[in-house]
Amino acid sequence: MSRESALVTTDWVTENLKNPKVVFVEVDEDTTLYEQGHIEGAITFHWRDDLQDGLVRDLVSKEKFEALLSKNGIANDTTVVLYGGNNNWFATYAYWYFKIYGHQDVRLIDGGRKLWELKALPLVKEVPARAATRYVAKERDNTIRAFRDEVIAAIGTLNIVDVRSPAEFSGELAAPAHLPQEGGQIKGHIPTAKNIPWSKAANEDGTFKDEAELKSIYEGAGVDLAKDTIAYCRIGERSAFSWFVLHELLGVNNVKNYDGSWTEYGSLVGVPVAVGA
Amino acid sequence: MKTCGATPGGPSLDGIDLTKQSVIQGVILRDGDADGVPNGAPVANAHIRLLDSQGEFTAEVPTNSDGQFRFFAAPGAWTLVVLAPGVRKELSVIAATGVPADLLIQI
C-alpha cells in the first residue's frame, strides 16, 4: 500500500463526483453531521447501527456486511472513498473494516470532512438513491486485527502503541476530552506500551504528514518497525487511524489494530496495568 | 448585546455533574459590527482543538449550529485553537472542577 493507492485529495474528489465507479461514504462519530450536509452523492454508514453487531461486542457478520454494501449499491469492483469528521477517526475505522472483509479498492479523503469544510467546499442535503448490488465479502482477515490474549502476550515482547492522548495514557483522563469522563474501567495503559498519540500523524487541517515525518515519529519514539506492532486506543477508532498510517501509508505489514482497546483491556480482571507517563 | 439568538457561552449544563467534570466550553461568534465586539452570527462547523500544557493535542470538536462547543478536560492550563475557513486563533484557558470555563470567542 502507499499514499497513492490509499488516499485521495479534495481536488480528486471534486473531479470524481460523477464518476460511476466511485461511491463516497461518510462515517462520523457525530452521526448528525451527514444530515446537516455531505459531499454530493455520498451515502453514510452509522458507526454503531451499521458497523457493530449490537448483541455481541464485535464487527457485524460477513452476511450483514454483504447486505449493508448490497443495499447501498456498492459492488465488489466499486472504488469506495471514505471520509468523516473528527480527523477521519471513524472513516479510518471503516477503512480498516473494509480491509477486514477484503474490499479491493478503498481509499480515504486526506483531511476528511474537516479539510472539506475549511476549504468551504460545497455540502448538500440530498440523499442519493443507489441501485442495489449483490456484494460478496471475503472471510475476515484477522492478520490486521488483534485480540486480547495476543495483546497480553505482547507485553514486553512486541511493539504496543497506545495512540490515545497523553492524559489518557497516564491515567489522568478516562476518555477523550470531548466526552464525559466516565467508564467503569480503571485508568492507565498496557505495560510497555509506547504513547504515540494518533494526532502526531496529522496536520492541523486533518491531512496526514509526509512519510518521512511519519516514520520518524514512530522510530523516534523507539518503535522498531521490523517487529510486530499492535495499536490500541479506547474503542479502536483512533488506533485504526494509526494502523492506517503504519500499514497503508508506510507499508508496514505486521501491524494490527486492537479494537477491543482500553474499554476491554481496562476491564479485564488481573491483567497488569501501568500509570504515569 | 446582539447574539443572533445564541446564548452567550457554551451549551446548557443541565444534566452534567459539575462536581466531577472540568468543563471548558464556549461559543464562537463573528465580529458583527466590525467593532471588536463578538456580537455577530454564530460560527457553525468551526473546529476547536484542545492542547494540553505541553502543547500536545488532546481533543477536537466542531461547533454546533449555534456556534457552541464543549470539552470535558482535567483541571489545569489548556490552549484552545479555533479553526474556521481562513481563520486560526489561539487562546489560553484554565479548567477547574466545579466551575465551567465558559467562553465567548470572536473570530
Number of domains in chain A: 2
Q: What is the CATH number of the domain that holds A227?
A: 3.40.250.10
pLDDT at A107 over 70: yes
pLDDT at B38: 65
Whether residues A148 and A253 share a domain: the answer is: yes
pLDDT at A176: 81
Whether residues A39 and A115 share a domain: the answer is: yes
**A180: nearest CB among B54, B61, B72:** B72
For all residues of chain A together, what is the average pLDDT? 95
The answer to whether B19 faces chain A, any CB pair under 8 Å, is: no
Number of domains in chain B: 1
Please write the tens of the pLDDT for every residue from A239-251: 999 999 999 999 9
Please write the tens of the pLDDT for every residue from A257-268: 999 999 999 999
B28 within domain boundaries: yes
The answer to whether B21 faces chain A, any CB pair under 8 Å, is: yes
CB contact under 8 A, A118 and B81: no
- Min mean pLDDT across A18-22, A158-162, A174-178, A197-201 is at A174-178
| Strand A255-257 with B47-51, pairing | unpaired
- Helix, strand, coil share of chain B (percent; to 5): 0, 50, 50
A247 within domain boundaries: yes
B103 closest CA partner among B2, B4, B6: B6
Separation in Å, CA of B11 to nearest CA in chain A: 13
pLDDT at A194: 97
Q: What is the pTM of this model?
A: 0.90
Please write the tens of the pLDDT for every residue from B6-46: 345 888 888 888 888 899 999 999 887 777 666 789 998 89
* Domain extent for B74: 22-106
B32 with B103: CB under 8 angstroms? no
**Domain C-terminal end among A91, A118, A140:** A140
